[in-house]
Amino acid sequence: MNALQKLREKNISGKFICVGLDSDEDKIPPHLKDNDDPIFEFNKAIIKETKEYAAAYKLNFAFYEKNNLKGMESLIKTISIIPRDILLIADAKRGDIGNTSMMYAKAILEDLNFDSITVNPYMGRDSISPFIENPDKLIFILALTSNPGAADFEKLRLEDGTYVFQKVIEQVKRWNISDNCGIVFGATKSLELSENIDLFGSLPVLLPGIGAQGGSLEDVVFTFKQKKRKDFLINVSRGIIYKSSNKDFAKAAGEEIIRLNNEIKYLFND
């Protein structure tokens, strides 16, 4: 089963939540900190309680790289316990000149065997070619991100009246020869989502920004429902993994993802 098939299988079964494992030792429950690898113990507990309900897991590399070798060991142990039928996304936002991107692609998609990765397209096609050459992977390319700074470049209006992020989406569709490209589109940009969803074509969409960043789950689901399409993931990080800071943190995470899935099901069927 390739990456896109994993995504579609989960969507068909009514699962749309991507659990963001942005695990920060300063924020995990205090009782875990005496472990040799507190981040892994935290992730292991979260995965145990959420894996039945998750459409994907997304590991933000910054939270692991900051702890150097120990952090990467935590990451490697974490990915080893995620069931292989669940899409595994490296939130690494890579993108560089060809040979450098080739090494990034090999390290993350081959050596670590992630199903998917986020990449930055702003250096052009040669900077992402090594990622999209593998038809079994799913490459999420930044289009319109959830942060306020997206307005600095992504929402610049061009002479023809279109925006930079729209040009990116159009280009990604041209690059999508192997049906293995998707886009990252911020859930905080609900107006832009509703105005541009027809532009996406068949591209799968990763939507960060629900919860702590202020994005509306209802707005996102309504927009996709109106167009009778799926192939999307709503990423939730802090809203799930830090639902509780007590010893019941994993149970609380499991209850929250069940609640979110039920809300999405209700919104689709309403």
CB atoms near residue 203 (< 10 Å): 20
Place of tokens 């069931």: 83
Find the mean pLDDT for residues 135-164. 95
210-236 pLDDT per residue, tens: 877 888 999 999 999 999 998 999 999
Q: pLDDT value at position 200?
A: 97
Are 117 and 131 within 8 A, CB to CB? yes
Helix H or strand E encompassing 9: helix 3-12
Domains defined along the chain, listed by start: 3-269 (3.20.20.70)
Evaluate if residue 87 carries a pLDDT over 80.
Answer: yes
Distance CA(37)–CA(50), nearest Å, equals: 20
Evaluate if residue 136 carries a pLDDT over 90.
Answer: yes
- Of the candidates 58, 203, 187, the one whose C-alpha atom is nearest the C-alpha of residue 121 is 203
Are 8 and 205 within 8 A, CB to CB? no
Which runs of E-coded beta strand occur in the chain? 17-20, 56-60, 87-94, 116-119, 138-144, 181-185, 205-207, 232-236
Q: Which of these is catalytic: 93, 155, 167, 265?
A: 93
109-127 pLDDT per residue, tens: 999 999 999 999 999 999 9
Distance CA(86)–CA(66), nearest Å, equals: 26
DSSP string covering 135-201, please?
A: TTSEEEEEEE-SSTTHHHHTTPBPTTS-BHHHHHHHHHHHH-TTS-EEEEE-TT-HHHHHHHGGGGT
Active site residue 44: no
Distance CA(250)–CA(248), nearest Å, equals: 6
Q: pLDDT value at position 75?
A: 98
Percent above pLDDT 90 for the chain? 95
Percent above pLDDT 70 for the chain? 100
List residues bridging with 119 in a β-sheet: 94, 141
pLDDT band at residue 98, thresholds of 50, 70 and 90?
Answer: confident
| 3 state DSSP class of 82 | coil
Helix axes 249-269, 38-50, angle to 10 degrees: 40
Q: pLDDT value at position 29?
A: 95
The per-residue pLDDT of the chain, averaged, comes to 96
60-83 pLDDT per residue, tens: 999 999 999 999 999 999 999 999
What DSSP designation does 85 have? T
Evaluate if residue 270 carries a pLDDT over 80.
Answer: no
For residue 220, the Cα-to-chain-centroid distance in whole angstroms is 15
Distance CA(105)–CA(116), nearest Å, equals: 10
